[in-house]
């Protein structure tokens, strides 16, 4: 098991590429905020308190278009609903004795990428790991949004477009390592990609909001995976970094 200091340092280390990606991607969000009439400070506060790229972009767009508060609330709720699923899944990674305030603070930082690295931690999740990642990812997202408002329109369109691709690179970096170790995970990722493409490009599904599509895919695929490929958790073992199992006696109580 990791000590608190080691968990925090590992979170710092794993949060570096995410923070750099957030800083780049948030430039485009800052441009959207500026088009909606937000100042750089206002946009930065939104990013600091929300950490939700799609939800923020939808909010800025609706503010620009003059949508009502009710419409905005419903749309952002649907867009960000996937975070409820992520938080529910991540809560299972905590030790049962983890205090509520740790769960609350970690829940604030849950994004797609932070969820990906936290859920991949061997064994139980130490909240300090998430805090180590948060220390970099939150400022990266906030500062990127701020500078996007200030400098976004100065950058060439090709540069802004290239920056937005960084987010997809982070997703690939998260899913490829476990997919190489497990055929089950590789198969589930492949099925997810195919079904996501179907929901995106088949016009029959155009009436379903994108956030709802994500929730449907997550619930259906995760439920099928749990039923077809159940994971038997051994409370007396932990997973090594290479994916194999080691008993506590073998680990020698290492901290």
Structure tokens at 168: 């997809």
pLDDT of residue 160: 67
* Structure confidence by residue, pLDDT tens digits, 188-208: 889 989 998 998 898 888 887
Higher-confidence residue of 185 and 254: namely: 185
pLDDT band at 252 (very low <50, low <70, confident <90, very high): very low
Task: Give the list of residues 6+ apart from residue 99 with CB closer than 8 angstroms, or none.
Answer: none
pLDDT value of residue 237: 42
What is the pLDDT, as a whole number, of residue 241?
37
CB 109 within 8 A of CB 133: yes
**Which is nearest to 108 in space by CA: 48, 154, 148, 68?**
48
**Structure confidence at residue 168 (pLDDT):** 67
Q: For residues 123 and 2, what is the distance between their CA atoms, to the nearest angstrom?
A: 10
**How do residues 2-52 score in pLDDT, each as one tens digit?**
788 999 999 999 999 889 888 888 888 888 898 899 999 999 999 999 888
| Res 136: pLDDT | 94
pLDDT band at 251 (very low <50, low <70, confident <90, very high): very low
Res 254 pLDDT > 50: no
Interhelix angle for 210-228 vs 69-80, to 10°? 30
Give residue limits of the domains in the chain.
Answer: 4-251
Give the H or E element holding residue 239: strand 237-239
For residues 233-251, average pLDDT: 41
- Structure confidence at residue 247 (pLDDT): 39
Burial of 155-166, coded b for 16+ CB within 10 Å and e otherwise, reads beeeebeebeeb
Task: Yes or no: say if 105 and 131 are a contact pair by the CB < 8 Å rule.
Answer: yes
Only one residue has tokens 């956030």, namely 211
Asked whether the beta carbons of 167 and 47 are under 8 A apart, the reply is no
Nearest-angstrom CA–CA distance, 8 and 29: 29
- Phi, psi angle pair for 52, to nearest 5°: -140, 100
Helices (H), 66-99: 69-80, 82-91
- In this predicted model, what pLDDT tens digit does every residue of 134-169 receive, in sequence order? 999 999 999 999 999 998 767 776 776 666 666 566
What's the pTM? Answer: 0.69
Residue 198: other Cβ atoms inside 10 A:
13
**145 vs 22, 151, 170, CA distance in Å?**
9, 10, 18
Alpha helices in the chain (DSSP H): 4-35, 40-50, 53-65, 69-80, 82-91, 100-109, 112-119, 127-151, 157-164, 166-181, 183-201, 210-228, 248-251
Write out pLDDT tens, residues 67-119: 888 888 887 887 788 888 888 888 889 988 889 999 999 999 898 889 988 98
Q: What is the pLDDT of residues 210-240, one digit of tens each?
A: 667 777 887 888 888 888 888 665 444 443 4
């Amino acid at each position: 098991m990791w000590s608190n200091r080691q968990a925090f340092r590992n979170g710092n280390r794993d949060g570096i590429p995410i923070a750099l990606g957030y800083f780049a991607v948030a430039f485009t969000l800052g441009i959207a905020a500026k088009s909606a009439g937000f100042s750089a400070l206002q946009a930065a506060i939104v990013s600091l308190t929300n950490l939700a790229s799609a939800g923020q972009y939808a909010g800025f767009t609706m503010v620009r278009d003059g949508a009502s508060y009710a419409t905005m609330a419903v749309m952002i709720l649907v867009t960000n609903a996937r975070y409820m699923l992520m938080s529910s899944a991540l809560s299972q990674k905590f030790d049962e004795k983890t205090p509520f305030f740790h769960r609350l603070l970690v829940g604030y930082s849950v994004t797609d990428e932070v969820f990906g690295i936290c859920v991949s931690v061997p064994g139980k999740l130490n909240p300090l790991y998430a805090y180590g990642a948060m220390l970099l990812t939150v400022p990266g997202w906030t500062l990127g949004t701020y500078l996007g408002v200030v400098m976004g329109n100065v950058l060439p369109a090709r540069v802004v477009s290239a920056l937005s691709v960084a987010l997809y690179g982070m997703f690939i970096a998260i899913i490829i390592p476990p997919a190489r170790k497990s055929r089950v995970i590789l198969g589930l990722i492949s099925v997810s990609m195919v079904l996501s493409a179907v929901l995106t490009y088949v016009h029959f599904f155009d009436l379903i909001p994108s956030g709802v599509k994500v929730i449907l895919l997550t619930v259906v695929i995760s439920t099928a995976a749990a039923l077809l490929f159940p994971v038997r958790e051994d409370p007396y073992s932990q997973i090594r970094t290479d994916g194999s199992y080691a008993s506590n006696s073998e680990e020698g109580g290492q901290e």
